[in-house]
Amino acid sequence: MTDMTYNAAPGRYDEMAYRRTGRSGIDLPLLSLGLWHNFGDDRPLDTQRAILRRAFDLGITHIDLANNYGPPYGSAEANFGRILATDFKPYRDELFLSTKAGWDMWPGPYGEYGSRKYLLASLDQSLKRMGVDYVDVFYSHRFDPKTPLEETMGALDTAVRSGRALYAGISSYSPERTNEAHRILTDLGTPLFIHQPSYSMLNRWIEPELLPTLDELGVGCIAFSPLAQGMLTSKYLDGIPADSRMAEDSSLPREFLTDDVLRRLRALNDIAAERGQSLAQLALAWAMRDERVTSVLIGASSVAQLEDNVATLGNRDFDDAELAAIDELAVDSGIDVWQESSTS
């Protein structure tokens, strides 16, 4: 049983590195903790608490959620809310909390996408589950091609003006839609704060246009799935383990692990070994190499895994030869399951 008395480590800000989010006043940790997996009702609450405590003690101030994280939907927010109440309530002003709405959450025509009704109803539910008065960022989780962007961005503006969120964000929007969203929010007087795209060595779609767009607009970028849902770890180097996401064939289809991808993963693992890193640490260091990437989202199923990921910060610089060798192997590999939203 985890000790219920928690006092944050006095030196929690000493080792973590932080970057400014676009042209805002906010610094985010280079590594942020996402609760997409491992924080639903299928995992012990004590394990979740231990991970969150250790993350905060290591200087990870940003916790990233969404309405349908679980399983079941909503349970990650509810579980986080329980832990916030018992452990982190005195530290709320040191935490940066985000949540999102856009993917399916409840049945019927008002339970997904980008309508004003769905987004604001979902935000109210999220605040109730977490037991907070506001979140720091509220995201449109995906572009909705059937709803006017003015309506979706208007809902984000309302969320901010009503005090339910401090900043507005978007996720998996194309460069063109990002420009439109930025224009609409600017006209409304609520700046676009941050974009959350998928990004990894196997999924580099943001580099040609989106990163330059965000840089020009002064919008932050937080990359999710930097380990390609586990593909950029040692887990798949010898095939598909029985206890993996790919074995479940859920959010990570088996067909993603082609012979060519496996060959490149093994070669990247060799580069990591030469640097004294794991493949996961190499992938995280690579994802944060560009100063335009404000933060990189990691998940964690254990304290040990969290600590291993954070250890990346001690070896995140590359020389030109390393980057050239990685570039030959780190090519788009057809694994972007969010492509439909980000190209609409």
Mean pLDDT (the chain) is 95
| pLDDT (average), residues 129-146 | 98
pLDDT above 90 as % of the chain: 89
Q: Using one digit for the tens of pLDDT, what is the confidence trace for 163-196?
A: 999 999 999 999 999 999 999 999 999 999 999 9
Q: Residue written as tokens 């906010």?
A: 26
The pLDDT, as a whole number, for residue 1 is 52
The CA distance from 193 to 25, in Å, is 10
As a whole number of Å, the end-to-end CA separation of the chain is: 48
Q: Using one digit for the tens of pLDDT, what is the confidence trace for 278-330?
A: 999 999 999 999 999 999 999 999 999 999 999 999 999 999 999 999 999 99
pLDDT above 70 as % of the chain: 98
Q: Nearest 5°: CA angle at 163, between 162 and 165?
A: 110
* DSSP conformational letter for 200: B
Which residues lie closer than 8 Å to 264 by C-beta, 6 or more apart? 329, 330, 331, 333
Kindly state the tokens that stand for 231: 């593909």
The CA distance from 228 to 334, in Å, is 11
Kindly state the tokens that stand for 78: 């509810």
3-state class (DSSP) for residue 274: helix
The pLDDT, as a whole number, for residue 78 is 98
Kindly report the backbone phi and psi dihedral angles of residue 168, in degrees, each rounded to the nearest multiple of 5, phi listed first.
Answer: -110, 140
Q: Residue written as tokens 């639903």?
A: 40
Q: Using one digit for the tens of pLDDT, what is the confidence trace for 206-218?
A: 999 999 999 999 9
Q: What is the dihedral of CA 325, 328, 329, 334, to 10 degrees?
A: 150
Confidence of residue 3 (pLDDT cuts 50, 70, 90): low
For residue 329, give the H/E element and its range: helix 320-329
**Do you find a cis peptide bond into 29, omega within 30 degrees of 0?**
no
pTM for this prediction? 0.95
Choice among 2-6, 106-110, 300-304 with the minimum mean pLDDT: 2-6
The pLDDT, as a whole number, for residue 2 is 53
Q: Residue written as tokens 């990691």?
A: 298
Q: Using one digit for the tens of pLDDT, what is the confidence trace for 227-267?
A: 999 999 998 898 777 777 776 766 778 888 899 999 999 99
The CA distance from 33 to 305, in Å, is 12
The CA distance from 300 to 295, in Å, is 16
More confident call, 134 vs 341: 134
